[in-house]
Amino acid sequence: MKFCMDTRELFDTKNKRIHLRQQALEVLWVLAANRNNTVSKDLLFNHVWKGKIVTEDSLSQCVVAIRKALNDDKHELIKTVPKRGYRLDYPHEKLTIIHKRNSELIKTATAGSGSVPAVANFTQTHDGLDLAYARNGAGPALIRAPHWMTHVLHEWNDNVFGPRYRRLAQELEMIRYDGRGFGLSDRSVGCGTFKDWVEDMHSIVLATNLDKLGLIGNSGGAPLSMVYSATYPERIGCLVLMGGFVEGSLKRGVKASHVQAFINLIEDGWAGRNAAFRQIMSTQLFPGATSEQMNEFDELQRKSTDGKTAAKLISILSELDVQNYLPRIKAPTLILHSKHDARQPFEQAVKMSKLIPNSELHVLETINHTPLQHEPAFESSSRLVIDFVTKHCG
């Protein structure tokens, strides 16, 4: 049988739609979004009935109907977790979870890369939003925190971020996800708060169902990764920070009027076909990019989110100061930073290396924010990451 997450439809082995009441389909959706994790009854009540007062029998009837539709009379697929809730065990021969949105977006990676398609999976946040993530490769697991900009399907195939992710996935299990408001994740409420981002990362970590993880934070994903590592030290086996920062632009002395002007330019000019506004960020991050790479990065930005959400992201990042979290990081930490980074000053990497107890700093020989595929630093930095994650999380 197949359950389509996007349309909340259940199909039998002959692709015939199976009728279930809407509440039962919503219960199945929540269980599928949080597969392999116990879902509390409170979460199910809040999502399905949205604050209405109903009895536990209403939920029990939905679970009975789902089990009947799936021929799960022995409760092998939908498990009852006493005093806690329910869990959907997946993968399982009785059910395949699909996403219609993948059909037009999934492509194989660049010709000759030997890569497999990136396929989006979905899990749910603590407040009921969809988060999209993709898993590629095999080996020690490395989660990529969201940064500027992400789209788990499109970025896999572009010539800016794609080569690095595909390279890492040759020797690691590369897990990437879109933050709320970006890519294939729920865009209905914008990008949320920094506190939301930390809890969203925890939802992804739980969804992987893995015990020992590496975590990589590029650029704006670095402060999030550092705070998460300090907050959930038992979850992270090692930490990689590339082109990151401890203090946002406002906290390190950039004039508020300059930051606000930049935010206004992004919000007002984002949606237009004229790439000039988006290329303000492109040229700062990748001054050494080819014209093809610059165009692809511009297209990735446009597809990743809207101008209002992009502007809000910049606003939040500009006000961050996570210094107090760094001494609490227990995971071995690899810091990689371009000496000539125009977006995040090298001094921020030095500050990270001084404040994080078990850390090592490597200088990247590139004028770009992170090395691009045509640069020698691309392979050397990829090798450093692979060896570091394999050593500590293998």
Q: What is the pLDDT of residues 332-344, one digit of tens each?
A: 999 999 988 988 9
Q: How much is the average pLDDT of 135-152?
A: 93
The pLDDT score that the predictor gives to residue 99 is: 63
CA quadruple 146, 164, 376, 393: dihedral sign: positive
Provide CB contacts within 8 A for 368, sequence distance 6+: 285, 286, 287, 288, 289, 338, 375
Please answer whether residues 49 and 23 qualify as being in contact, where contact means their C-beta atoms are separated by less than 8 angstroms: yes
**Domain at 2-98: CATH code:** 1.10.10.10
Tokens matching residue 146: 């969201």
Let me know if the fold of 2-98 is the same as that of 101-393.
Answer: no
What residue ranges do the domains of the chain occupy?
Answer: 2-98, 101-393
Count how many residues are written for the chain: 394
| Per-residue pLDDT tens digits for 145-192 | 999 999 998 899 888 999 999 999 999 999 999 999 999 898 888 999
Tell which wins on pLDDT, 297 or 243: 243
Q: Is the CATH number of domain 101-393 3.30.70.890?
A: no
Please answer whether residues 251 and 316 qualify as being in contact, where contact means their C-beta atoms are separated by less than 8 angstroms: no
Q: How much is the average pLDDT of 101-121?
A: 47
Nearest to 317 by CA among 200, 204, 184, 191: 191
For residue 318, is pLDDT > 80? yes
For residue 111, is pLDDT > 70? no
Dmax over CA atoms of the chain, in Å, equals: 64
Q: Model-level pTM greater than 0.85? A: no
